[in-house]
A and B are shown apart, each in its own frame.
Chain A
Amino acid sequence: MKRCFAESHYALYLDKELGREESREIEEHIKECSRCKELVSRMEAENARIRRALETHTAPDIASQVMARLEAPPAPRALPRWRWALTAAATLLVVGFLFFFLLFNSAPTGNVETRVILCTAKVEGQPVQSHIYESKEPDIQFIWLEKDK
């Protein structure tokens, strides 16, 4: 007679998790070994008890409920409060930015020049006037000398 198998092995056998060859070996063994036959019988009864304890009622008609809910249009979801607050804050930020942008950048468009006559002088005997131009870019100034008319 072959050696007895471990209880875990019999558990796998009863749960039909063993291959055909291993199952056959166990069946051969329990035919000869009364101790293992009794053990397997007890384990089978425990499994049957678990199955019976897990029995329930017949299910209601869940399919109709599910199909009805899938057909119904989805209910409009109210935005959570934090989303309202975030939207309001973002709007305020954009409006504020636009306001300050327009306030401090009210210069007319185009290549703005402000010509200021700085002085009149003579360069190489020729009377000249110096003009200073301020471009729309900050910190850029052009100094232009032209003949005094």
Chain B
Amino acid sequence: MKNTDIKLSVSRCLNGDKESYSPVVRHFQQRIYDLCFHYLGTLQDAEDAAAEIFIKAYRALGSFNPRYAFSTWLYRIASNHCIGILRRQKREKEYLLEQGSNPSKLKHSAAPDTVFFEDTKKTAFRNALETLPIQYRTALMLKYHQDLSYKEIAETMDLPVNTVGSLILRGKKDLKEKIRDQEKEAS
């Protein structure tokens, strides 16, 4: 779906044609689902979050500025939504720790369905990726999974373009160190 077609669909939605939103969702659902999965770690959480994000986006369509790409606007909503969920999960875990409970009992902890890579090296790499600070992880996801340019990533994360370059560079450096540490521990 071209950018102009997306903007046309959005314009129709704003004029009351709800059905025009369906092709927009179908166009982006895989990418948003992937993004949510990389943030949240479970397939169910990713699916729930993705649906919430599209509904949030629909309700906020009036605030979309057609001068910019719809994709970066949507990614920004998705990032903010997932970061909000992670913050709530962190608060819940901290609360449970204070209460002396086991935080791994939280329903949104990583379930066995997240471990679907047979290659253990790939799993170790993914684990290392998941332990990166959220800004590094977001920048790497948007670049190497969503294939956004630095400019698009900057618009999504509301950062200068140079900062995006630094985040990607430092993210990769951090990742290399974590993998090296994991390999040392394993041996």
Instruction: Give the B-binding residues of A (Cβ under 8 A).
Output: 8, 11-12, 15-17, 46-47, 49-54, 56-63, 65-67, 69-71
Chain B contacts for A70, CB-based, 8 A: 18, 21, 55, 58
A67 touching B21 by the CB < 8 A rule? yes
Q: How big is the B interface, by class?
A: 35 or more
A interface SS class: helix
Report the minimal beta-carbon distance from A29 to chain B, rounded to whole angstroms: 20
A-B pairs with beta carbons under 8 A, tally: 89
* Contacts A66-B25, A70-B58; A56 near B168 (Cβ below 8 A): no
A51 to B55, CA, bound (A): 28
A66 touches B54 (CB 8 A): yes
Given contact pairs A8-B165, A62-B50, A57 touches B116 in the complex (Cβ within 8 A): yes
Please, could you name 10 A-B residue pairs with CB atoms under 8 Å apart, sorted by A?
A50-B140, A53-B122, A54-B145, A56-B38, A56-B46, A61-B29, A62-B29, A63-B54, A66-B51, A67-B19
Q: If A56-B33, A56-B34, A62-B25 touch, does A50 touch B58 (CB 8 Å cutoff)? A: no
Binding site for A on B (CB under 8 A): 18-19, 21-22, 25-26, 29-30, 32-34, 37-38, 43, 46-47, 50-51, 54-55, 58, 116, 122, 125-126, 129, 140-141, 143-145, 149-150, 165, 168-169, 172, 175-176
Min C-beta distance of B93 to chain A, whole Å: 24
